[in-house]
């Protein structure tokens, strides 16, 4: 095969017409651009999915357990049952309740989230003041600067016995999850402050947020929890709760990658045009090689090598360009998103070497398939036909 490779390189790099050079450049540029676009698009899709997953897992438990109706067991017993289940790391009793808060001169509707008294970010007992119960706000609810006196406000909520209640609150800080829907709506209150605000005898959890060892096998742990707790509880893992979101992300990614795949396919077809022109230009040389004893396999190999030179040049440039573009985008944070639409304000591209290798291999296969017609034409050339034309 060494002779075939040498002949292919000689034919490819010398004596070509301007038209063949132009079509060669178009083929290489098309493959490189399409493959680079595929790599960047895939990295964006993976980075967006990972960013959403990290935000969801950081803000919520991996599994949510909600009591349905009256539960005879006390919250302590329920929590111990949950934490004794295989695969569970911890369980936190919480509840969510709609409310309204007066901030920045206007009223905002929020969602109270009850957190344990030991949660970080709240003042210690010595730092407590009479200016209201301390709360943490979602980072997008207020512009918070730690060096200023914490502002106070009024929180409006539904009383346990009915009617509207008002509570003076003191903003102790902010908490950021990275998910816009949470950061723009959630307000965090400690369990003891919530009991005092609602004038309750004890805290009755509306949900238990469960963390497991491996979030990606949370469905298996959910099954064990259902067996341990019985039918009085609704159990939902984070993947099931966000299934519509992940399905939409998967569909969007598939559509984008299919479009880019079609671009790569069209670029690969340029190899057919280039090799066809090259075969036409090299008909006298093919006739000479035939006369000297070159067989069909040798002629096919020569033009296959020429096509592979084009394809590999485009693939190498595409992989290098896509990888470099991903690094530059991450380095300079070139992608910014409206968080109210995408939940995230930026995306960190996640380059997948296996997906890149698979895309490069598929591109090479498509390019090889595109060479079939011109290679077969070159292999069928008869010396007498060429001499007769001359």
Mean pLDDT of the chain: 87
Mark residue 15 as left, alpha or beta (left: phi above 0; alpha: psi -120 to 50; beta: remaining): left
| Signed CA dihedral, 153, 156, 161, 163: sign only | positive
Render pLDDT for 48-83 as a digit per residue (tens, 0 to 9).
999 999 999 989 999 999 998 777 778 999 999 999
Note the pLDDT of residue 17: 80
pLDDT(145) > 50:
no
Query: What are the DSSP calls for 295-318, one per residue?
Result: -HHHHHHHHHHHHHHHHHHHHHHH
Render pLDDT for 300-353 as a digit per residue (tens, 0 to 9).
888 899 899 999 999 999 999 999 999 999 999 999 888 888 889 889 999 999
Lowest mean pLDDT across 2-11, 146-155, 188-197, 340-349:
146-155
pLDDT(216) > 70:
yes
3-state secondary structure of 165: strand
- The pTM score is 0.85
pLDDT(151) > 60:
yes
Asked if residue 171 lies in contact with residue 135, where contact means CB atoms within 8 angstroms, the answer is: yes
């Amino acid at each position: 095969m060494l002779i075939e490779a040498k002949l292919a390189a000689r034919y490819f790099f010398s004596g070509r017409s301007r038209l063949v050079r132009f079509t060669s450049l178009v083929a290489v540029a098309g493959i490189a651009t399409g493959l680079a676009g595929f790599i960047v698009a895939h990295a964006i899709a993976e980075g967006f999915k990972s960013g959403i997953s990290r935000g969801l897992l950081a803000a919520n438990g991996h599994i949510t357990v909600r009591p349905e109706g009256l539960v005879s067991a006390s919250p302590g017993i329920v929590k111990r049952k949950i934490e004794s289940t295989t695969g569970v790391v911890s369980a936190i009793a919480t509840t969510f309740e709609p409310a309204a808060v007066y901030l920045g001169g206007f009223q905002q509707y929020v969602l109270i989230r009850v957190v344990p008294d030991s949660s970080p970010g709240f003042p210690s007992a010595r730092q407590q003041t009479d200016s209201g119960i301390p709360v943490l706000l979602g980072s997008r609810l207020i512009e918070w600067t730690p060096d200023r006196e914490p502002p106070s406000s009024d929180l409006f909520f539904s009383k346990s016995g009915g009617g509207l209640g008002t509570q003076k609150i003191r903003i102790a800080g902010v908490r950021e999850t990275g998910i816009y829907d949470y950061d723009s709506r959630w307000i965090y209150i400690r369990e003891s402050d919530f009991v005092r605000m609602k004038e309750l005898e004890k805290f009755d959890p509306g949900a238990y947020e469960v963390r497991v060892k491996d979030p990606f096998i949370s469905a298996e742990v959910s099954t064990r929890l259902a067996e341990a707790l019985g039918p009085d509880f609704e159990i939902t893992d984070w993947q099931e709760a966000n299934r519509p979101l992940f399905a939409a992300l998967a569909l969007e990614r598939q559509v984008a990658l299919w479009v880019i795949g079609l671009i790569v396919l069209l670029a690969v077809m340029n190899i057919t045009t280039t090799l066809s022109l090259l075969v036409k230009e090299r008909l006298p040389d093919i006739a000479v090689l035939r006369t000297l004893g070159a067989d069909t396999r040798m002629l096919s190999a020569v033009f296959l090598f020429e096509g592979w030179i084009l394809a590999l040049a485009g693939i190498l440039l595409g992989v290098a360009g896509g990888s470099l573009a991903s690094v530059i985008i991450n380095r300079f944070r070139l992608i910014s998103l409206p968080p109210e639409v995408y939940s995230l304000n930026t995306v960190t591209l996640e380059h997948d070497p296996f997906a890149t290798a698979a895309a490069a291999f598929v591109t090479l296969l498509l390019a090889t398939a595109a060479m079939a017609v011109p290679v077969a034409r070159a292999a069928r050339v008869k010396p007498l036909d060429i001499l007769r034309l001359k």
